[in-house]
Chain A
Amino acid sequence: MKANPLGQKVLEILTPKVGAIVAQAMLEKQCNAIGASPAFLRKDHLEPLAKRIEHVLVIFGHDGKEVSNKIRAL
């Protein structure tokens, strides 16, 4: 599913960290988990989305907080 402009911005933050395939899959999975979708992502989704991404990014060896703060700031 193609991400809307806000979703694209989240992908731009995630891609350098985990690569394009994982970034796309992660955005879709985490959007689903909060009842949203990349195509219809809204500003009010960003806080719960950032929280979830922070949690899952740790297993990839990244500082989840740094990324989640960037997402919150969008």
Chain B
Amino acid sequence: MKHCKECGVPDIIGRDQRWSSDGTIPITGDPNFRMGIVEVPVMREIASRLEKIVGPSIHNMFMESKRKYARHYIDILLKGPLGFLVRHTASGGKKVYQTLLQTSTSLGYGHATVDEYKRKTLVHGTIHNPYYTPFFVGDVRGVFESVERLPSTGTWVDKGDVATIAVDVMAGEDELGKRFQYDDTLRKPGDLKYTPCKSCGLPKELSRFVWDLDKGTILDTKANERVFITGLNDFNGVFMELEEAIGDIVPNTILEVNREHGVKLVKNRVVTGYGDLVRGAGLKGLAYTTFQGNNDQVKLTFKNTFNKNYVVGRALGVYEGLEGKKPEHTIKETPGIIELTIKGRGA
């Protein structure tokens, strides 16, 4: 797979995604479809804590949500004559899946191979270094459903750093076909500026991420943690449904995991000031953030945030780490804008 000689980012990343000045990363074929860079440990911790509350069905929920957005993503990639060829020629089949799975290595999903394929029936495979197996099964289901135009089921078996996955055509009714749909199209303008890489034009700051295309991993060298690039509504589809079902436990979990991660980022000197938080959120496509601070309090304004509790939790953790005080906060919300004011508890 080709990559930029200057910053090391695979060409496919710049071809399919665009880093926008409003703190979002839309895909080139659909400006409303947002991608983002998410830390693997944060994703796994959210899933693990929700599993303790909800049970193992949480993993199926993530798979269901992911399949929906993966299908949409592949539908966009396979628009026009290419899609016709893929869907209607005998030579399509296994090779198409192999090519599309290669794309997923550049997104940091792991290294996958197709073991068995029968048109309109099944695709079985193996993934090494999966970022989060249920999400990956959702990805393969999305590919299957886009290519075969049929609903699917998905199962997996995790064996350490390897997982076997099975996606089969769905026999009965697709009961969850219309669930896990979170559509957020509201965008506020921003004025984020990135220094472009001289060679590929992508933000130069992306050079902190190192792609290992053999393993299918992306390492954030600044934080020394694995990240992946994903559709952000893959998460929101699950969070929205769960919050509707069981209430505040879900947003509180997301906030708490991110608060703890924010503290850790400061402790490890990945974040040394609020400017790092502001730039990091934009580069990762999570929000357009501005910051104002004085001796008593810190005020952060988020626009285009993909998930309120994710970014607020992160900001609270960063505050706690930088100021050495437990945070107390208030939130003022207007459509598309979150104003967060933080001060030390008892201040």
Q: What is the distance, in angstroms, from B156's C-beta to the closest C-beta of chain A? A: 15
Question: In the complex the two chains form, is B246's CB within 8 Å of A59's CB?
Answer: no
Most buried by A among B57, B61, B245, B247: B245
Question: In the complex the two chains form, is A58's CB within 8 Å of B55's CB?
Answer: no
Question: In the complex the two chains form, is B241's CB within 8 Å of A59's CB?
Answer: yes
Asked whether A22 and B241 contact (CB < 8 A) given A58-B179, A59-B176, the answer is no
In the complex, the chain B residue whose C-beta lies closest to that of A28 is B247
Question: In the complex the two chains form, is B245's CB within 8 Å of A56's CB?
Answer: yes
Q: State in angstroms the CA–CA spacing of A66 and B285 once bound together.
A: 42
Task: Collect the chain B residues with CB atoms within 8 Å of residue A32's CB.
Answer: 247
In the complex, the chain A residue whose C-beta lies closest to that of B58 is A60
Q: Does B249 reach chain A (CB closer than 8 Å)?
A: yes
Task: Collect the chain B residues with CB atoms within 8 Å of residue A56's CB.
Answer: 241, 244-246
Question: In the complex the two chains form, is A29's CB within 8 Å of B247's CB?
Answer: yes
Question: In the complex the two chains form, is A59's CB within 8 Å of B245's CB?
Answer: yes
Interface residues of B: mostly helix, strand, loop or mixed?
Answer: helix
In the complex, the chain A residue whose C-beta lies closest to that of B243 is A29
Give me 28 A-to-B residue pairs in the complex whose CB atoms sit less than 8 angstroms apart, sorted by A's number: A18-B54, A19-B55, A21-B53, A21-B249, A22-B55, A22-B246, A25-B246, A25-B247, A26-B245, A26-B246, A29-B245, A29-B246, A29-B247, A32-B247, A56-B241, A56-B245, A56-B246, A57-B245, A58-B175, A58-B176, A59-B64, A59-B176, A59-B179, A59-B180, A59-B241, A59-B242, A60-B55, A61-B60
Given contacts A22-B55, A58-B179, 20 further A-B contacts (CB under 8 A): A18-B54, A18-B55, A21-B249, A22-B54, A25-B246, A26-B245, A26-B246, A29-B244, A29-B245, A56-B241, A56-B246, A59-B57, A59-B61, A59-B176, A59-B179, A59-B241, A60-B54, A60-B55, A60-B57, A61-B57
